[in-house]
Structure 1
């Protein structure tokens, strides 16, 4: 039963002539009038806290009330719109009032096949499906600037963040929900720095909805079972591992999968910005970086701060989601070269580029000389895993030991597995060309 707003209960048949329920064109201005009337009434009837975090029962109750009010409002404005039109508007208002508006059409449970969503400042919406490396345009989804701003405010508000001309770029989290337990990360740019300036530019990276298991990697032929077994042994023995790859190659996903091999009794401390890696056990402590709060005296908490604090927490294994600057790299590599076990990721398209870029950021950010940076990396990392994209599919291209002694002043890699160049129709094949080096534990002097 629905209430017409005057206390009169009516069924669907009382609200609509179902024999004439075909959708009819409705003037856009009138549609907006009806929407605003319903939104105002719902905001008066239900507490803000309930609308922001409705239970399943609340959601059903509020949606039923929206359904009723939409029909009442159209009749009040002397318009018969049709059942389909009313239902579509009511569903849209439900998303706007209790969820994330148009984003609810792209998030679980509506869709579970997406890894990324982007909204251009022009209003164009594109998505990337899981296991894909290409964007797809959604021409049927055309949120207006007001809707985009409302959705962004709903995401940023609970995190005490805002996007404005004084703070034109913001990093935020997509909150975890029962339907989307992995959550996601959000990057938003204000129109003032994202021409044509119609609305904010937003990118959302969705995290996995459950811990990534090694089988998920093998099913997608990212590597062979023998390679996975080698990495399992390395993780169990506390090897220090660097995973490198380009944008969207799956570095964090692979690191998440390998974390399943960490011994169950180990105390794991992971440092991230933002938290992405999901390890399904109770002995994990996350430390999350945060930027300085604009207009306040609150200082930033950096990845380097997180590593330094983690060292005072007696970890068995350190995980740095991504080395993004020289300060974080210096803190982590210092810890690892003195014996701490750990793993991290770094953005680079091949091992040589990884060395060059790490040397550069260690020098530019932390003042480490090139020769000292090379020695630091060699002593801190035991094993390098390189990921690339071949024929638009993610593959591990190299697993290599990192030699501890520099050769002619440079780091030497000793490949263990190498991806063969495939023919267009062949399955991926990796050649074993070496063996895993025994890990040499650092000696500590008192």
Structure 2
């Protein structure tokens, strides 16, 4: 039978048309009926064999029914159906795109993707909510996780280290809500971050010295600001002869270090049995002879165990925390300690915090999507019953006469106070210069303010 071919008026956007969805759905039904005829044999086929089978069957289906689409559109449908049968459908290309950082799906026809810190709506879509759920359950199946009305919210780690969060009805009102966070397979090195403009050479040297001197560092920032990437980068400064234990809720860190022990918390069953919390893991990590403990994110009662670890011989430990400034970071630690049931006085808690932490490194995402280190702040002790801090470096955006913007990091002209860095002072001194026009210091009348 001769084949009827008509070129679509808008072939370049064929995949976004309803006609594409209709033809793909009909061809999919045809494939399912053919697979049913094959029975168990199909389940043993390789991806290559499935691809060849789909190409032949779709071509045959289109030709016999004289569907008015061109050759390129036939290939589009065949490719999509191969991914549907042997892969992850519309998600497959996004998961394979190295530039994609986040995939956010609000129901089957609302897909948003973040690339290089910029969030945009994607043209791809799923056929319906059931199609989206099939793909999500296909991802969850090898992980041993279930998703149904009795378990409508799932958080899981993907095999490549990414993170998947799914919420469905009755909790999600407008259809399945899917969030996928991807992580680089090759963690950024500190030199890479300098090349990308995340911070400058002076801050690079300070962080290098601080890590080698076993200073305790807290990386603070908002959501998707680059905290994990910076923590990964700091690990490159850790000497190779040290044992590092990482503790995370969902394993995201990928430290480039020869001696790393990775621990991940575990959710409990329906009755809460079997749960292993971050706090449990931090306590256990101290029995594993760590030189350093790295906590992926501090957001609960585990803050007390982290502080105790830093105060009891595990210098050089690091963690991340959600906060928008160094001062807010300290406030958040106090708040979390209160939630943990800290029974001591306010003064004793602040002294414990001041004794544990050496530096707070603030990172953020600018309005243009770029991630930048915003400040490096040192904890210098106590003053007037408050935690005393001093800012060493601060990020500023410089606007040229032609309107172009550039980043710069202003030194406040202060050498680090920490005794741990005494032997590095000569190395750091040339990099600490008072700017010709110093930026105004933050108001010192805040909760942790202090005059310089």
Classify 1:49/1:333 alpha carbon distance in 2 versus 1 (closer, same or farther; 3 Å): farther
> Counterpart of 2:331?
356
State the Cα distance separating 1:385 from its structure 2 match.
Answer: 0.7
State the Cα distance separating 1:144 from its structure 2 match.
Answer: 2.3
1:71 matches 2:71: no
Q: CA RMSD in A?
A: 2.8
State the Cα distance separating 1:293 from its structure 2 match.
Answer: 2.4
Report matched runs for 1:41-190 at 5 Å. 41-42=34-35, 44=38, 58-74=46-62, 82-108=70-96, 111-121=97-107, 123-130=109-116, 132=117, 134-176=118-160, 183-190=161-168
**In structure 2, distance between residues paired with 1:64 and 1:122:** 28
User: Structure 1 stretches of 5 or more lacking a match?
Assistant: 1-14, 52-57, 177-182, 442-446
Query: How many residue pairs were aligned?
Result: 405
Report matched runs for 1:207-222 at 5 Å. 207-222=183-198
Conserved 8 A contact 2:108-2:127: no
Q: Residue 35 of structure 1 is aligned with which of 23, 28, 33?
A: 28
Q: Residue 266 of structure 1 is aligned with which of 223, 226, 242?
A: 242
User: Structure 2 stretches of 5 or more lacking a match?
Assistant: 10-17, 422-452
**In structure 1, distance between residues paired with 2:154 and 2:119:** 23
**In structure 2, distance between residues paired with 1:293 and 1:138:** 36
> Counterpart of 1:427?
406
**In structure 2, distance between residues paired with 1:306 and 1:40:** 50
Q: Residue 213 of structure 2 is aligned with which of 233, 237, 240?
A: 237
**In structure 2, distance between residues paired with 1:390 and 1:297:** 40
Deviations 1:185-221 (A, max 9, x none): 011111322222xx31011111012122112211221
**In structure 1, distance between residues paired with 2:145 and 2:193:** 36
Classify 1:390/1:137 alpha carbon distance in 2 versus 1 (closer, same or farther; 3 Å): closer
Conserved 8 A contact 1:121-1:195: no
Classify 1:278/1:76 alpha carbon distance in 2 versus 1 (closer, same or farther; 3 Å): same
State the Cα distance separating 1:437 from its structure 2 match.
Answer: 3.0
Report matched runs for 1:311-390 at 5 Å. 311-325=286-300, 327-341=301-315, 342-369=317-344, 370-390=346-366
Calculate the TM-score normalised by the size of structure 2.
Answer: 0.82
Conserved 8 A contact 1:188-1:203: yes
Classify 1:376/1:318 alpha carbon distance in 2 versus 1 (closer, same or farther; 3 Å): same
> Counterpart of 1:7?
none
Deviations 1:49-71 (A, max 9, x none): 767xxxxxx32222011111223
Classify 1:68/1:214 alpha carbon distance in 2 versus 1 (closer, same or farther; 3 Å): same
**In structure 1, distance between residues paired with 2:311 and 2:44:** 51
1:437 matches 2:417: yes
**In structure 2, distance between residues paired with 1:246 and 1:162:** 30
**In structure 1, distance between residues paired with 2:42 and 2:189:** 39
> Counterpart of 1:398?
375
**In structure 2, distance between residues paired with 1:269 and 1:333:** 16
**In structure 2, distance between residues paired with 1:118 and 1:28:** 21
> Counterpart of 1:225?
201
> Counterpart of 2:15?
none
Conserved 8 A contact 2:154-2:165: yes
Deviations 1:272-306 (A, max 9, x none): 12111112333111001121123x66421111111
Deviations 1:350-371 (A, max 9, x none): 1111111111111013334533
SS across alignment from 1:148: helix
State the Cα distance separating 1:48 from its structure 2 match.
Answer: 8.3
Classify 1:356/1:63 alpha carbon distance in 2 versus 1 (closer, same or farther; 3 Å): same
Conserved 8 A contact 2:326-2:362: yes
Classify 1:283/1:409 alpha carbon distance in 2 versus 1 (closer, same or farther; 3 Å): same
Classify 1:374/1:23 alpha carbon distance in 2 versus 1 (closer, same or farther; 3 Å): same
1:308 matches 2:283: yes
Conserved 8 A contact 2:108-2:128: no
Calculate the TM-score normalised by the size of structure 1.
Answer: 0.83
Conserved 8 A contact 1:21-1:83: no
Conserved 8 A contact 1:127-1:137: yes
SS across alignment from 2:181: strand
Conserved 8 A contact 1:23-1:84: no
